[in-house]
Amino acid sequence: MPLSRTLTTMFSLALIVGTNQTLADGIGLQADPSWPKPIHDDMAYGQVLFDRFEIQSIEGKEQLLWDAQAWYGKDLNRFWLETEGKYDDEHSGEIENLDLQYSRRISPFWDLQTGIGTQTSFGAGDKHERYYGIIGFQGLAPYWFEIDTNLSLSDEGDTWLDLEAEYDWRLTQKLILQARGETSFAFSDAEEFEQAEGLTGITAGLRLRYHLSREFAPYIGVTATQLFGDTRDLAESEGGEDSTTSFVAGVRFWF
């Protein structure tokens, strides 16, 4: 092939590739001014999610329970605000956690998180409050189990480990059955928060939700709690139950 023809062919190919890239980028001389600019993957964005917002009925008594989180940041670095608690019709309850954490993506499915938090219990007696530091992991385990675990150390020297796990069965595109379990292991006693050294207990539940839209899904379900060891004895000494079963109705939503 003559040299001139070879150079012409190479130039034509380079022109086609460059033109296609320019059009794909949405910029350049041949781009329409009305076309949107290229999407950058380093933009900050966020979400607010109420994973549980429900009424629980336990032996004729009702209580409101919430479990919510909000985050803002980029793909690798984010700030998280998490809160979980309950409130009953006797004007007592507990903010189990109000946490502010920094999150760093360490693998495609896992985040390393660290931060600070506070826990508050209130009712007919004295109000109790403690502050703590947190380090933990949140992510997606094999077989699509969502895991959230934290190790906490309070300003009073109390140390405990929390573990939560969720799994969704997609019965249809809109009907989803969620299994949820949580447990906690305390390395020291904290009687004012009904926490004794050792495995404190296990809570497990099933919730069936229907997505009226992607952002809004009412649900019903059942949940059961079983306390163990000294935590069980502590609850019984204060007139509580070592095991409870409750029916729940609520809504899961995000924006």
The residue that leads in pLDDT, 5 or 16, is 5
State percent of the chain over pLDDT 70. Answer: 84
Decide: 84 and 54 in contact? Cβ < 8 Å. Answer: no
| CA separation for the pair 4, 174 (Å, rounded) | 63
DSSP SS3 for 215: coil
Report the pLDDT value the prediction gives residue 7, as an integer from 0 to 100: 44
- Mean pLDDT score, 4-12: 52
The residue that leads in pLDDT, 15 or 37, is 37
pLDDT (tens digit, 9 = 90+) per residue, 97-145? 999 999 999 999 999 999 999 999 876 667 889 999 999 999 999 999 9
DSSP SS3 for 104: strand
Report the pLDDT value the prediction gives residue 124, as an integer from 0 to 100: 63
Which segment, 124-138, 139-153, 228-242, is predicted with the most confidence on average? 139-153
Name which of 36-40, 80-84, 216-220, 245-249 the model is least confident about.
36-40
Residue 50 has pLDDT above 70, yes or no: yes
Decide: 223 and 63 in contact? Cβ < 8 Å. Answer: no
pLDDT (tens digit, 9 = 90+) per residue, 158-183? 999 999 999 999 999 999 999 999 99
Helices assigned H by DSSP within the chain: 3-25, 229-237
DSSP SS3 for 233: helix
Report the pLDDT value the prediction gives residue 246, as an integer from 0 to 100: 95
Q: How far is CA 173 from CA 23, 212, 213, in A?
A: 36, 11, 11
Report the pLDDT value the prediction gives residue 129, as an integer from 0 to 100: 93
Report the pLDDT value the prediction gives residue 2, as an integer from 0 to 100: 54
Residue 191 sits at φ, ψ, to 5 deg, of: -60, -35
Mean pLDDT for the chain overall: 87
| CA separation for the pair 162, 141 (Å, rounded) | 16
DSSP character for 193? G
Instruction: Please count the other Cβ atoms lying within 10 Å of the Cβ belonging to residue 204.
Output: 15
Residue type, 233: D
Output the pTM of the full model. 0.81
Report the pLDDT value the prediction gives residue 227, as an integer from 0 to 100: 96
pLDDT (tens digit, 9 = 90+) per residue, 179-204? 999 999 999 999 888 899 999 999 99
Report the pLDDT value the prediction gives residue 30, as an integer from 0 to 100: 67
Q: Which is it for strands 198-210 and 216-227: parallel, antiparallel or unpaired?
A: antiparallel
Report the pLDDT value the prediction gives residue 19, as an integer from 0 to 100: 46
Residue 151 has pLDDT above 90, yes or no: yes
